[in-house]
Chains A and B, each alone.
Chain A
């Protein structure tokens, strides 16, 4: 059985030979670049000092190369467009050293010059003549958006202003997706996870418009959240148009990649906080769900893809709605949040949705526990979530920086030793 078949079986809620494993399939199932470096060193895949490519700049995720996939028995591989989080292409690689001393490679337009506070500022489309769009604090590991909210009043607010980043996928990108999907399909046996851009509604990481030089509309995070209550008509119109654009793009993307793709990553909007839903379940149902349903319906009517939604946090009240909206896969299954007990989730929803994540707690056990804590938890999760298929192993969200390598090795060993059916 190859990786693609293994993942397909799991997604069809059947037990394969073993629980499939993801690392690097999406921007929420990857690994911080400094941890990738440390892991590759521990596995003796590279001579000391060999730099790692940063393939997702905002969260500083490192490249998962085929040798690392093979060493860990990873079953999935990522396919996504070439424009990154800051609106430029990942090309023209140059060396840089992160604050924690990790040698990395970053794209040419990545600004490596610290400002007077020692912070690394990033510029949309690499244009340093405009105000910066994101910042990594001195000593930090990730970027966060800088709010560039222009003054506005409700009378002059235009829906198009919040839609500037959404548009038709360019022909050269479609061509790239076609070639790359053919290559990945032919040269690997892994299940391809296609990152669909522009179909996450109100993703708070993207609301500030990090790809745009001069974002207009509602771009401040707090103002946006308040607007989901006070300006529902406006937000709904933004989503409506965004959905129409998505439905115009989907046939073209499908024509390019066909059914070589196993999974379509649709949305990374977070609807959960640590203790409860971030927004009200009522707002999810009225404002978001109908538009997700339209995207999922198109995909299910026209392709064999399974659709993937990521939402952190405590989201139990809206899981039935996520399923009704047509999602096949739920990630990251944050069992460390309130009311997200693994057994309850598997019992209630295990036959309706595939849990892609939830393998180990990345807030407590993986970074701060002992290798034995990690082994115990991973074994338990393999048993609970793995039963009857419908489970792809991944820790809860990306593996963060500063995670002890012995814990990570304990996690992968336990998957190998106890992940078999």
Chain B
């Protein structure tokens, strides 16, 4: 591995925005393949951050900081990605369901998925079922990832799945769900395809769903 890729890896893990910026730009200028910078530098670093999070070695602030550094690097890489041989891991529509304004968890999921090479369409918070439907229909997403923090907004998850069914889109899109009160049992009950207890494991769930 090029030493600068190793540095980018460290920069992302430490959340050092300034160094990520400088090193990613330097790597691009040096003609290092964009796919190497992305996969070995940034995606690998976010995977490690996610792993540390799952293990209880790293916490929400550290994860947010790493994700911000990753996004800074990604912004520099994006113009070069189209020309490079980088295959998207999949397209995911992300949102917090209707009635719910909580977005830290949802944002972390979006950032971790982005950091794992997925394309993200973030619909924000308080997203009505029809907006999820519209995004799936118009953007060709393969996965819908929904979040609810409140027990009172969990029913919006089911409403959205029902709306995808009613629109005849359920066959072409996988649904994964998460949020503090959400469990695997609940996912089974409402007919979601996947569940993840945290942002890091959401990446594994999304990858599994893409493979099925």
A interface residues (Cβ-Cβ under 8 A, vs B):
135, 137-142, 144, 221-222, 225-226, 228-230, 273-280, 283, 362-364, 367-368, 400-402
List which B7-26 residues lie within 8 A (CB) of chain A. 15
Query: B residues within 8 A CB of A275?
Result: 197-198
User: Are the CB atoms of B152 and A229 closer together than 8 Å?
Assistant: no
Query: B residues within 8 A CB of A274?
Result: 180, 197-198
User: Are the CB atoms of A277 and B59 closer together than 8 Å?
Assistant: yes
Instruction: Identify which of B28-36, B72-80, B93-101, B132-140 touches chain A.
Output: B93-101
Report B63 CB to chain A, min CB distance, Å.
9
Query: B residues within 8 A CB of A401?
Result: 152
Query: B residues within 8 A CB of A277?
Result: 56, 59
User: Are the CB atoms of A229 and B198 closer together than 8 Å?
Assistant: no
Query: A residues within 8 A CB of B64?
Result: 222, 225-226
**A-B complex: 10 closest residue pairs judged by Cβ atoms:** A144-B101, A363-B181, A137-B126, A225-B61, A229-B61, A274-B180, A367-B151, A280-B59, A140-B99, A276-B56
A-side interface mostly: loop
Cα distance A336–B152 in the bound complex, in angstroms: 17
**Interface code B96-112, partner A: CB below 8 Å = 1, 0 otherwise?**
00111110100100000
**Interface code B76-89, partner A: CB below 8 Å = 1, 0 otherwise?**
00000000000000
User: Are the CB atoms of B68 and A226 closer together than 8 Å?
Assistant: yes
Q: Considering only CB atoms, which chain B residue lies closest to A273 in the complex?
A: B60
- A137-B101, A277-B59 known; A368+B151 contact, CB < 8 A: yes
Choose one: B61, B101, B181; the contact of A226 (CB below 8 Å). B61
- A222-B104, A273-B60, A274-B180 known; A137+B152 contact, CB < 8 A: no
Cα distance A364–B151 in the bound complex, in angstroms: 8
User: Are the CB atoms of A229 and B197 closer together than 8 Å?
Assistant: no
Cα distance A144–B153 in the bound complex, in angstroms: 14
Cα distance A274–B179 in the bound complex, in angstroms: 9
Report B103 CB to chain A, min CB distance, Å.
9
- A140-B99, A400-B151, A401-B152 known; A278+B60 contact, CB < 8 A: yes
Query: B residues within 8 A CB of A135?
Result: 101
Cα distance A230–B65 in the bound complex, in angstroms: 8
- Besides A226-B15, A367-B151, 11 more A-B contacts (Cβ < 8 Å) are A140-B101, A140-B153, A141-B150, A144-B101, A144-B102, A221-B104, A225-B60, A225-B104, A275-B198, A276-B56, A280-B58
Query: A residues within 8 A CB of B100?
Result: 137, 140
Query: A residues within 8 A CB of B102?
Result: 144
Query: A residues within 8 A CB of B68?
Result: 226
Query: B residues within 8 A CB of A137?
Result: 98-101, 126
- A141-B152, A226-B68 known; A279+B15 contact, CB < 8 A: no
- A141-B152, A144-B102, A222-B104 known; A229+B62 contact, CB < 8 A: yes
User: Are the CB atoms of A273 and B151 closer together than 8 Å?
Assistant: no
Report B58 CB to chain A, min CB distance, Å.
8
User: Are the CB atoms of A400 and B152 closer together than 8 Å?
Assistant: yes
Choose one: B15, B99, B180; the contact of A139 (CB below 8 Å). B99
Query: A residues within 8 A CB of B15?
Result: 226, 229-230
- A137-B126, A363-B180 known; A279+B198 contact, CB < 8 A: no
Q: Considering only CB atoms, which chain B residue lies closest to A364 in the complex?
A: B181
Report A362 CB to chain B, min CB distance, Å.
7
Query: B residues within 8 A CB of A276?
Result: 56, 59
Cα distance A96–B46 in the bound complex, in angstroms: 48
Q: Considering only CB atoms, which chain B residue lies closest to A136 in the complex?
A: B101
Choose one: A144, A225, A280, A402; the contact of B151 (CB below 8 Å). A402
User: Are the CB atoms of A400 and B150 closer together than 8 Å?
Assistant: yes
Cα distance A401–B152 in the bound complex, in angstroms: 7
User: Are the CB atoms of B181 and A279 closer together than 8 Å?
Assistant: no
Cα distance A402–B107 in the bound complex, in angstroms: 27
Identify 15 residue pairs between A and B in the complex whose beta-carbon atoms are under 8 Å apart, listed by A's number: A137-B100, A137-B101, A140-B100, A140-B153, A144-B101, A225-B104, A226-B68, A228-B61, A229-B15, A230-B65, A276-B56, A277-B59, A278-B59, A279-B61, A280-B62
Cα distance A135–B124 in the bound complex, in angstroms: 15
Query: A residues within 8 A CB of B151?
Result: 362-363, 367-368, 400, 402
Of listed B65, B99, B152, B198, residue having the most chain A CB within 10 A: B152
Cα distance A139–B127 in the bound complex, in angstroms: 12
Q: Considering only CB atoms, which chain A residue lies closest to B197 in the complex?
A: A275
Cα distance A141–B183 in the bound complex, in angstroms: 22
Report A119 CB to chain B, min CB distance, Å.
8
Q: Considering only CB atoms, which chain B residue lies closest to A277 in the complex?
A: B59
Query: A residues within 8 A CB of B61?
Result: 225-226, 228-229, 279-280, 283
Report B76 CB to chain A, min CB distance, Å.
20
Cα distance A363–B148 in the bound complex, in angstroms: 12
Cα distance A402–B99 in the bound complex, in angstroms: 14
User: Are the CB atoms of A273 and B62 closer together than 8 Å?
Assistant: no
Cα distance A53–B132 in the bound complex, in angstroms: 37
Query: B residues within 8 A CB of A363?
Result: 151, 180-181
Query: B residues within 8 A CB of A273?
Result: 60, 180
Report A143 CB to chain B, min CB distance, Å.
9
Report B57 CB to chain A, min CB distance, Å.
9
User: Are the CB atoms of A139 and B98 closer together than 8 Å?
Assistant: yes
Q: Considering only CB atoms, which chain B residue lies closest to A368 in the complex?
A: B151
Cα distance A279–B62 in the bound complex, in angstroms: 9
User: Are the CB atoms of B65 and A229 closer together than 8 Å?
Assistant: yes
